[in-house]
Amino acid sequence: MSEPLGSEGTTRRLPVLDKDRTAEDDVPKPASEPAPAPGSGRFWSARRVPAAVVALLLAALAGVLLYDIAAVRADRPPLRVRRELAQQLAERPLDDTWVLVGAGVAAALGLWLILLAVTPGLRDVLPMRRPHPDVRAGLHRGAAGLVLRDRAMEVAGVQSVQVRAGRRRADVRAVSHFRDLDDVRADLDAVLGDAVRGLGLARPPALSVRVRRPGRKG
């Protein structure tokens, strides 16, 4: 079978149809969004003030000790404080009151430093979900409480609201001057539940909602 001729007498190749392709293949597919990363842990505090205090104390003690050692090597008498301290440690028994008090203070300071080293701190910052592994975000507890308060004030019948947002629970205390208290509480549970999910926190706090009537004046 001969091929059709073009306008200038040349042959023209017919288009080839792929029977396996469907109309759905021509529709552009949306790019798949990356799965959200798990929630990040709590933010760690830099502990600048305790670290600066400890560093200054250690530097001062090291400076005094080095000065005393250099004075002794230069054939000068040691510091009176070191001589008295060495004498007291040599003469006082271990069950002496001042020895026990000093040991208790040193142990308390050591435990305090260990506690600061192993705890994250920054209790006022709530970690948020991580949409990307390289992104971390946190929300201040005061800001979260303000958002919940504004959403609660939108409910009909609510006169005033007090919100205390914590890491595990958000306490909401509302005052309703009209409508049934059960209806107001149900609306608050629904609205605040959506608001908590909208905060994007890694661990959404549990809601504790209480509604009461305003107190009588006078």
C-alpha angle with apex 172: 142 to 185, nearest 5 degrees?
A: 145
pLDDT tens for the chain, 218 residues long, are: 444 444 455 555 554 445 455 544 554 444 444 444 455 678 888 888 888 998 999 999 999 889 888 888 888 888 888 888 888 878 888 888 888 998 999 999 999 989 988 888 888 899 988 888 888 889 999 999 999 999 999 999 999 999 999 889 999 999 999 899 999 999 999 999 999 999 999 889 999 999 999 977 65
- Cβ proximity of 205 and 167 under 8 Å: yes
> Comparing C-alpha atoms, which of 176, 173, 163, 157 is closest to residue 215?
176
Q: How many C-beta atoms surround the C-beta of residue 20 within 10 A?
A: 6
Write down how long the chain is: 218
Distances (CA, A) of 140 to 82, 125, 134, 217: 49, 5, 20, 36
Q: What is the pLDDT of residues 47-62, one digit of tens each?
A: 888 889 989 999 999 9
Res 31: pLDDT = 44
pTM above 0.85, yes or no: no
Res 113: pLDDT = 87
Res 63: pLDDT = 92
Question: Which residue has 């505090």 as its token pair?
Answer: 45
The greatest distance separating any two alpha carbons of the chain, rounded to the nearest whole angstrom, comes to 123
Residue 43: exposure state from Cβ atoms within 10 A (0-12, 13-18, ≥19): middle
Residues in contact with 187: Cβ distance below 8 Å, sequence separation at least 6, in sequence order: 155, 156, 157
Question: Which residue has 């059960």 as its token pair?
Answer: 182
- Give the CA-trace dihedral at 59, 63, 66, 67, to 10 degrees: -170
Res 137: pLDDT = 87
Query: In whole angstroms, what is the distance from residue 176 CA to residue 184 CA?
Result: 8
